[in-house]
Amino acid sequence: MSHRRTLNTKKKIGLLVTAAAVAGGGAFALAATSNAAQSPQSAQPLSAANSTVCQGLATALGNNGKFIEGQRAAPDAQSEARIANREAVIEQIKVQQKAAGCVVGESAQGSQGTQPAQNGQQGQQGQQSAPPAQSGGGAAASGQQVCNGSTVTLSGEAGAPAASSNQFPAGTTLKVTNLDNDKSTTVKVTSVSGSCVLLNNAAFEQVREPGKFLIRRVLIEKVG
């Protein structure tokens, strides 16, 4: 009788352990399902309003979009080729937005206009309304300061270091200094864009801060 009671007790304990394991496994499965359901909600894409990286990419997208609008509004013999090039640039920017966790396709509404300055009026207005840029340690003036109050982002174009502009013709030499890290690049304008100065990918890499796609404090000089 004693031996039979011992076996019954062991069986009861075994059943209780098994039941606990099943219950625990069910709880783990429920917790995993719950976490899986919540994870997409916690990984919302960042917008330009709360991310400097996303703001820079959105600005670049907006500038390219406005450039396309300007070409379509006043087309010439080269407009079709320019538009195709900029559309490819926009697709590349969207890839960068996705990789950075930004809202894909978000375009900054405050992007600079596409129309070139009329008799220098835009440049003069910018100089009057914006505070003068302060030179950093490696940003001693070496030319005429232009585009006061502007920010600088990348056009998304590949190739050797170069710039594009809606105020300066091709062949103009510009020096762009990031006042937050005192890095400078001197490049030639090679194409038209939707803002005072856009740097292509190679030129932007020479002056950017790690992880940033927008230069807020910048000194832009016309040196040739």
- Whether residue 92 is contained in a domain is answered as yes
* Count of the separate structural domains present in the chain: 1
Q: Looking at the domain assignment, is residue 182 inside a domain?
A: yes
The answer to whether position 155 is within a domain reads yes
Eight-state DSSP code of residue 184:
E
- pLDDT value for 71: 85
Q: Quick check: is 199 in a domain? A: yes
Query: Does residue 174 surpass a pLDDT of 90?
Result: yes
38 located within any domain:
no
What mean pLDDT value characterizes the chain? 72
Q: pTM for the complete prediction?
A: 0.53
Tell me whether residue 6 is in a domain: no
| Residue ranges making up the domain that contains 59 | 52-222
Return left, alpha or beta for 164; rule: phi > 0 is left, psi -120 to 50 is alpha, else beta.
beta
CA distance 167 to 122: 9
Q: For the chain, give me the number of helices (H) and strands (E)?
A: 5, 8
Confidence tier at 24 by pLDDT (50, 70, 90): very low
Residue 156 and residue 198: Cα distance in Å, rounded? 9
Does residue 191 lie in a domain region? Answer: yes
